[in-house]
Amino acid sequence: MNHLTSLFFIAIALYSEVAVAATDCTAWKRDSNDTVNQTSSPCYWYYLASNLTKAATSQVEIDKQIKTTAPELVDMIRRDAKNQKIFDLWGGAINFDEDLKNDIVSPKLLSVLGKLLGHKIKGKIVNAGILSTYGYLLSNAVTPYGFKRDGWTERLLDYGFGWKGDIISPIPQHGTLLTNVTALAGIIAFRDDPTLLKVLADATTDAAPEIRNMNLDALDIRRLVETITLTDAGKGKDRTVELRTDLVTLPFEVSPAKALTHLMIYSVKDSASVGGAKLISVAPTTQDTVDAIFSPRGLGENQLIRTQYNAFIPELNGKKKTGRRWVQVKTNGISQPNIIINDDYWPPYNFGGVENQPKGFIRELVEQCLPTTGWKAEFHPMPISRMRKLIEQGDLDINIFSFEKSRESFLTYGSESLFTSEYQPAVRADSTVQINKIEDFDQLRLGHLNGLSYSPAFKAYVDKRLAEGRLDVADSENTNLNKLIGNRIDTFVNHKRTILWFAKKLGVSEKIKMLNFTIKRADYFVAFAKSSKRLSPIETKRFLSAMDGCIRNLKQNNDYNVLRERYGLVDK
């Protein structure tokens, strides 16, 4: 089992207790007079799979039992058997779970399913559509993370997409389980291939209308692509294999497994294969899994790559190849403009591209996360006085802002903070000044950095002092520090870490101290211009979602803390 597969299963554990509890069938009784009640219950499928597996002494016995005990399922399967072109949309899969070291479905039961579907199955290699739908449905393989069929029997995707009826369920109201899963996965995985979309539409005409009428533009979708180049022995031709993982944010909260936040679709595009990309696996998954899949550590060239989710590609199965792992934003060769990000001079967070200075905490963090968005960026230093106008006009895409309700008119905020900062007053180390409220500044010589806005209350106070001619305005933090140490002012206010950074660089850290009075304490977020000329609103949403996930991921490992310590953002 490889790294990304491990992360997927670890995240599934977040809802395993719910899944197992939902399939605790000790008190369940079969009601032979209520077929609808049976097939809509996860317990029905638990007992059906158990009994069919026990009957696996011969394919003949299984065949008889499934036709007797599950006529609705058999009827649905026979409808799929008349639609053979649907199987061409799926690739090959292996009926074996690497974690369990066992078959996912009884081979004899799988053979019966293949016979009913018009697909002769020998050995462990099977059409991925059969394994992922009816195979999982009739498997009682218990992992520490729940049953493989939970995605179908618990109606998890119906909840996640806000569908009221049984759409992605064992016996759906419209279509079949295989048809509906194929339509849902294919609409997303083949969205950049008009030819395949036409084939899909022809093969899934009976799919539920809720799926066929989906508006992809309204969904937050990200694609991870793993590209491997193989050389066919003796032919001298390069062959490219793309392993593609599409992650779709579910628009609604999933019940009963509230940890589930995304739909995962795994597909393979092999340049040596006829017919384009092939579907392999479909499953609900968690935000933690998505964040880990798009971890910046795993992106780029020379990454170790292997197949996942039971995919069967002979040249790759059981092998690790070196390739490229990247995030695809635009498809069909469409070029994308670079995003413009403000790189203002705000040590230690940003250094405005000044020569012989570090990049800054913000820039380094953003640069680490940019590959997870699929977009590239240019960093331009913008003065505070011009920055807001440029971002309102859409000439500047990104600035790091604290949240203010009034800014939502021209900004879309991310949800994961980059850092927390506090505005506090600095005084001389030997000062006896105490400040407990804004009015305590009245008798002090107050310094001010031109352009700094503080909190609304303190900004109003500073403006009042300026109007009264009782404010000492400086154009740099070094000037404020020199005035403070030279006893020309008594105090000034700025971000605590900014003051401490400049004091350290000037060698005057021992000559100042910070007072424990917070003018403003705020979390800072990536904020995107609503009027951007480069990204549409849905692209902005996807970009910020990717950034949020990356920041969360970095916070969970040591990379984030190492970066904080490098820029003096940790108290020692």
Nearest partner of 137 among 108, 178, 97, judged by Cα: 178
Alpha-carbon gap, residue 50 to 48, rounded angstroms: 5
Residue with token string 């009913």: 116
C-alpha–C-alpha distance, residues 543 and 529, integer Å: 12
CA-closest candidate to residue 346, choices 291, 255, 267, 421: 421
Superfamily of segment(s) 420-521: Periplasmic binding protein-like II (3.40.190.10)
Residue 305's closest CA among 559, 12, 5, 7?
Answer: 5
The rounded distance, in Å, linking the Cα atoms of 35 and 338 is 57
- Region of residue 374 (left: phi > 0; alpha: psi -120 to 50; beta: else): left
Torsion from C-alpha of 150, 151, 155, 161, nearest 10 degrees:
160
Average pLDDT for residues 213-221, to the nearest whole number? 92
Please give the structure tokens belonging to residue 320.
């690790």
> Above 50 in pLDDT, residue 554?
yes
**Cα 80-82-84 angle, rounded to 5 deg:** 80
Query: pTM (2 decimals)?
Result: 0.86
Q: Domain 339-418+524-566 adopts which CATH fold?
A: D-Maltodextrin-Binding Protein; domain 2 (3.40.190)
How far, CA to CA in Å, does 39 sit from each of 31, 63, 167?
Answer: 10, 19, 13
Cα(187)–Cα(180) distance, integer angstroms = 11
Mean pLDDT, the chain, integer: 89
pLDDT tens-digit readout, 316-351: 887 888 999 999 987 665 678 899 999 999 999 999
pLDDT digits (tens, 9 = 90+) for 383-408: 877 899 999 999 999 999 999 999 99
Contacts of 231 (CB under 8 A, 6+ apart): 237, 238, 239
CA 311 to chain centroid: 22
The answer to whether 284 and 151 are in contact (CB under 8 A) is yes
Predicted pLDDT at 7 = 44
**How many other CB atoms sit within 10 Å of the CB of residue 102?**
10
Given a contact cutoff of 8 angstroms between Cβ atoms, the answer to whether 47 and 31 are in contact is: no
- Cβ(165)–Cβ(178) below 8 Å: no
Alpha helices in 374-488 (DSSP H): 384-393, 456-467, 477-485
Measured distance CA(230)–CA(239) in Å, rounded: 5
Answer whether residue 241 shows pLDDT above 60: yes
The domain segmentation of the chain, as residue ranges, is: 3-328, 339-418+524-566, 420-521
Per-residue model confidence (pLDDT) at position 9 = 38
Cα separation, 312 vs 409, in Å, equals 50
**Residue 466: pLDDT above 60?**
yes
Rounded Cα gap, residues 47 and 108, in angstroms: 17
Q: How far is 447 from 462, CA to CA, in rounded Å?
A: 9
Work out the pLDDT band at 565, boundaries 50, 70, 90.
very high
Q: Which residues contact 444 (CB under 8 A, 6 or more apart)?
A: 433, 490, 491
Secondary structure class of 104 (helix, strand, coil): coil
Amino acid at 102: N
User: Is the separation of the CB atoms in 39 and 170 below 8 Å?
Assistant: yes
Per-residue pLDDT band at 279 (split at 50, 70, 90): very high
